[in-house]
A and B are shown apart, each in its own frame.
Chain A
């Protein structure tokens, strides 16, 4: 489901002002944040609530392949899976998007034509982000030109950790501009930012620079989307909304493999940002193997029997 980009013009700023803003945000106590996430992860979602949550989660999946070994054939197969997650059950909702490398965008767009499913492309020298600015912008423009409706950019973690917030800010703003009407997700790569204080600051930085979504991880660095990280990012978008009225989305990606993981994320969304965020417009889950687990649990709920993996298509 393609998401309309938000019209948002970041205000020009200085590194000094950004630093004052980001370091003026309330701190995050690591132990307290973990405890809160742990507490919410004990919510018991059963029966009807579970059925609703599974369908919602399926609609939020950004079905992803980001391998060096990706081929047109692999991408086409993934797109077929996205369009028909369960060939035997047409009541299964469509996934949120398909997420591929920039050179595979054209293939994916072709394969998904007529399904209404958008194509998200990673860009800006994913996953490390270590390339000159003009290369990152060219990367972005090409993906958009090939039909990507969503761009998942990576921030310059080196610049962030060295305190050059303005560089990160300007890169995001420039990529946002290069996106045109495409929707921008900003990958913070929280596993490299390490502290929750950094996650909070990077989230607000990305939000202020014009990101439509903040995304946890590339999936190439561990730890990826942990619950406390998602919690801190949800707090950031919640607070930004309270301050400005603008809603920014959140996308955990990497390491979410089971229905239980997905539902824990939805509980977090529900109780931290609020039910307004329970839509693919504002919450996505970057994953690949998760989809089949959601489908298996869906069958289990509707039939009462436990299914086996051989009954679900690999891709």
Chain B
């Protein structure tokens, strides 16, 4: 028989959308001075969700001034224990409103509710809980006896994990006594604005958190604003370079979490079923919109023929469709522009002679969709093996020896993540030691935790987020 799962949509009724969202400055929602708005759509069906104010230079000035005032008059003077209590309070509200935020995130981003519910939101709350506890213990963080906050932090985050990236930025900044002006991504502003409401609900002093929505110009104005002490950016390597140039000579501290081209190395003695799961989760989690995605599968040639059919059979079981359906594994591509980039790179690969495979997979009629795709016959010299696709496209390469695996894995300007699959402990450690990547997942992939530092080598950026190490980015 066939066992068809009936639609099991999560209810949208937990979310109340406003037609228009203003900027969040100094504790209040306030229109942008330019009066301009952008529209954010649901990428799963291209319906309009809301219009959101576009912050201009004058709004950036106001927000930075509010953050400075809050820093000087309230937040930097408050005992750490009290700051921590605000963060604990925020963490609790995030837990209470987690279903609402998960649904909102899935609507704005296109990612499956299964992930927003089971991954994004639990991690968001966990990040605030973890950092709340640091606020009164900073002298014990190994960063000197009296570490001081930097001041006002300008933070720009991407669209792939909107609320989680916000948590990664705001929680450590606030715990260490800094105030923030944060710009969410153009296509995913809604959960950041919901977070602004949570700040109000938590009675967070005005100006400690300011949220400015807008597109690239808003981000540029924010990171180039002379009134901040710290810039934290997660996004593309190209924009990261520009920011690093812009920050030079300003004295501002900078952390960058940029692109990646992660290798997932599967040795011939791997626990095959779990390796298949790890490869699938490595590239298809969040539609492959993950900077640390395992976008290059490096499989030992001696088991390639055994692994690939298993992998394809597993991919054929992935369920693509309505992000709000609880059984959806792969949701929508976040934007038309991103879909275009994925198509372009994948088509190029095909033109270069790479074999392309996707399971039979009906794509919805409206919205932005891309079927899970496996490219075989890929070599290091193909464009898809070098450039970040940021989509559900896996490139398969083979290797013969551990040395070759490591050499190929490291043969990229990036250095964010890597995976190793082997049942042999010494080989795992040998490989992990040689991989030039900030996070190495062995016999697992795409795991995150607030206690675990995250960040890259080489052109994947610098600085770490999470754990004791992440505090360093916000203390002087």
Question: Touching in the complex, A and B, CB below 8 A?
Answer: yes
* Residue positions of A touching B, CB distance < 8 A: 26-29, 31-33, 35-36, 42-50, 52-53, 56, 235, 242, 266-267, 270-271, 275, 278-279
With A28-B271, A31-B444, A32-B271 known as contacts, the answer to whether A47 contacts B6 (CB < 8 A) is yes
Contact call B273/A278, Cβ cutoff below 8 A: no
Complex Cα gap A36–B277 (Å) = 8
In the complex the two chains form, is B5's CB within 8 Å of A43's CB?
yes
Q: CA A278 – CA B3 in complex, angstroms?
A: 8
6 example contacts (A-B, Cβ-Cβ < 8 A) are as follows A33-B274, A44-B5, A47-B6, A48-B4, A49-B3, A242-B309
Q: Kindly state whether residue B326 has any CB partner on chain A within 8 Å.
A: yes
Contacts of A242 in B (CB 8 A): 309
Contact residues of B: prevailing secondary structure: loop
B1 touches A32 (CB 8 A): no
CB atoms of A29 and B3 under 8 A apart: no
Most chain B Cβ neighbours within 10 Å, of A44, A49, A242, A271 = A44
Chain A minimum-CB-distance residue to B424: A27
B1 and A278 form a contact (CB under 8 A):
yes
Task: Chain A residues near B273: list those with CB within 8 A.
Answer: 26, 28, 32-33, 36, 235
Could you give, for residues 411-449 of chain B, a 1 whenever the CB lies within 8 Å of some chain A CB and a 0 otherwise? Answer: 000000000000100000000000000000001100000
Bound-state CA distance A48–B5 (Å) is 8
Of the candidates A26, A43, A50, A279, which one forms a contact with B271 in the assembled complex, judged by CB atoms under 8 Å apart? A26
B443 and A32 contacting across the interface, CB-CB below 8 Å: yes
Determine the distance from Cα of A8 to Cα of B269 in the docked complex, in whole angstroms. Answer: 30
Query: Chain B nearest CB: distance from A142 CB in Å?
Result: 36
- Apart from A42-B118, A49-B4, what are 7 other A-B pairs with CB-CB below 8 Å? A26-B272, A29-B443, A31-B443, A44-B5, A44-B326, A47-B6, A235-B273
A27 to chain B, nearest CB (A): 4
Q: Would you call B62 an interface residue if the criterion is a C-beta within 8 Å of the partner chain's C-beta atoms?
A: no
Report the separation of the CA atoms of residues A48 and B6 in the bound assembly, to the nearest whole angstrom. Answer: 6
B58 within 8 A of A: no
B218 at the binding interface (Cβ < 8 Å): no
By the criterion CB–CB under 8 Å, are A271 and B423 in contact?
no
Question: Could you say which of B5, B118, B274, B444 contacts A49, with CB atoms under 8 Å apart?
Answer: B5
Q: Are A44 and B327 in contact (CB under 8 A)?
A: yes
Neighbouring B residues of A28 by C-beta, 8 Å: 271, 273-274
Identify B274's interface contact among A36, A50, A270, CB under 8 A. Answer: A36
Chain A contacts of B277 at CB under 8 A? 32, 35-36
The distance in angstroms between the C-alpha atoms of A271 and B5, with both chains bound, is 12
B317 in the interface (beta carbon within 8 A): yes
